[in-house]
């Protein structure tokens, strides 16, 4: 079976009447910037607002109770992002029967779950990809985390997918690494967001709403700390690929005595067989002293290799 095609994020300005009507029910809870401003409300008031909204609107609300009940500091707001699923965003009909789902149930597609995760800000880190020597299966594992409105992290570790690497005739299965990687990401994202493996079709087809926390600087010590932490995470992610640029015009001290050179790294990038192997290369690049030009060339090679290996970027 072919994975359902990914549906583009719906522009709420041109969305169908159903989600527009549902968004109208949100308006009493929003400020002029379209944000939920709940930090000044007590837990009891928040719970009441959440219950009223949930009863009034037929929305799917991943992690809403977790987000709304968080004791987040002044300067934190929540932006609701609506996503309207299409028929192609779930396995239905004959496909659902082949998958032996309950009558009337559908299974959300991997692309749809990954799109929800992307919007929610889920961070995935590959921790293993390769042959599991104990089971003989191709295995892919990820850690996943999502920052809550109070700045704490919701995490899942070392979760993913195992698949057979060989066909019944003993030949290697085509694209097993790409297939396993995508399903591994789906599984860890699904479990982090609390999305069921299958659900009634009418329930799946309701609009989905993701709450994205927004932290404003200068409002509180806590939000300033969270903003600084997010910057560190972003800088680290960039650093793993590009490292600290050193404009070196002479022989690199780190490359003396037979240590790894830029040319060696080019060869390693071209020969990489998996995203896990490429991640190790990126870490090594981050620790190397390289010229601006070398950093630029190696970074471009890494990006090209990611595309070649079929990485789904979140």
Low-confidence ranges of the chain (pLDDT < 50): 2-20, 242-258, 311-314
Whole-structure pTM value: 0.67
Boundary-marking domain end, from 189, 221, 253: 221
Residue 228 lies in a domain: no
> Is 3 inside any structural domain?
no
pLDDT at residue 56, rounded to an integer: 72
**How far is 73 from 70, CA to CA, in rounded Å?**
9
- Let me know whether 183 and 136 are in one domain: yes
260 and 115 part of one domain: no
pLDDT for the residue 268: 86
On whether residue 233 sits in a domain, the answer given is no
Residue 237, in any domain of the structure? no
| Residue 116 sits in the same domain as residue 162 | yes
Q: Residue 260 belongs to what domain range?
A: 243-308
The answer as to whether 285 is a domain residue is yes
Are residues 257 and 216 part of one domain? no
Q: Are 257 and 131 part of one and the same domain?
A: no
Whether 117 and 266 map to the same domain: the answer is no
Whether residue 38 is contained in a domain is answered as yes
If one counts the domains in the chain, the total is 2
Whether residues 150 and 38 share a domain: the answer is: yes
Q: Distance (Å, rounded) from C-alpha 181 to C-alpha 81?
A: 27
Q: What is the pLDDT of residue 3?
A: 46
Q: What is the pLDDT of residue 223?
A: 86
- Give residue 285's pLDDT: 78
Same domain, 178 and 262: no
- Is the same domain home to 68 and 139? yes
- Give me the residues paired with residue 200 across strands: 105
Residue 106 pairs in a beta bridge with 199
107 and 147 together in one domain: yes
> In this predicted structure, what is the pLDDT of residue 97?
94
Q: 211 with 277, same domain? A: no
In a domain, 6, yes or no: no
pLDDT of residue 254: 41
User: Do 132 and 37 fall into the same domain?
Assistant: yes
């Amino acid at each position: 079976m072919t994975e359902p095609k990914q549906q583009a994020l719906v522009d709420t300005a041109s969305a169908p009447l159903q989600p527009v009507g549902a968004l109208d029910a949100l308006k009493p809870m929003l400020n002029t910037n379209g944000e939920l401003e709940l930090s000044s409300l007590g837990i009891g008031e928040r719970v009441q607002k959440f219950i009223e909204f949930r009863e009034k609107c037929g929305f799917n609300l991943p992690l809403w109770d977790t987000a709304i009940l968080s004791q987040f500091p002044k300067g934190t707001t929540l932006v609701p992002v609506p996503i309207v699923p299409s028929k192609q965003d779930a396995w239905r009909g004959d496909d659902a029967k082949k998958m032996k789902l309950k009558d009337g149930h559908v299974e959300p597609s991997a692309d749809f779950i990954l799109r929800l995760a992307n919007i929610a800000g889920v961070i995935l880190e590959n921790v293993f990809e390769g042959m599991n020597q104990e089971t003989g299966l191709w295995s892919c594992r990820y850690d996943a985390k999502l920052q809550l409105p109070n700045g704490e992290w919701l995490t899942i570790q070392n979760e993913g997918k195992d698949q057979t690497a060989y066909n019944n005739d003993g030949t290697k299965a085509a694209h097993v690494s790409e297939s396993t990687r995508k399903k591994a990401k789906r599984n860890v994202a699904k479990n982090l967001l609390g999305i069921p493996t299958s659900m009634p079709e009418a329930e799946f087809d309701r609009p989905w709403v993701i709450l994205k926390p927004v932290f404003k600087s200068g409002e509180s010590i806590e939000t300033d700390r969270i903003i600084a932490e997010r910057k560190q995470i972003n800088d680290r992610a960039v650093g793993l690929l590009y490292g600290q640029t050193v404009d070196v015009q002479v022989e690199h001290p780190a490359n003396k005595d037979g240590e790894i050179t830029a040319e060696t790294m080019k060869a390693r990038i071209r020969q990489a067989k998996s995203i896990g192997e490429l991640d190790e290369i990126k870490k090594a690049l981050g620790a190397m002293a390289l010229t601006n030009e070398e950093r630029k060339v190696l970074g471009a090679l890494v990006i090209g290799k990611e595309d070649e290996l079929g990485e789904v970027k979140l």
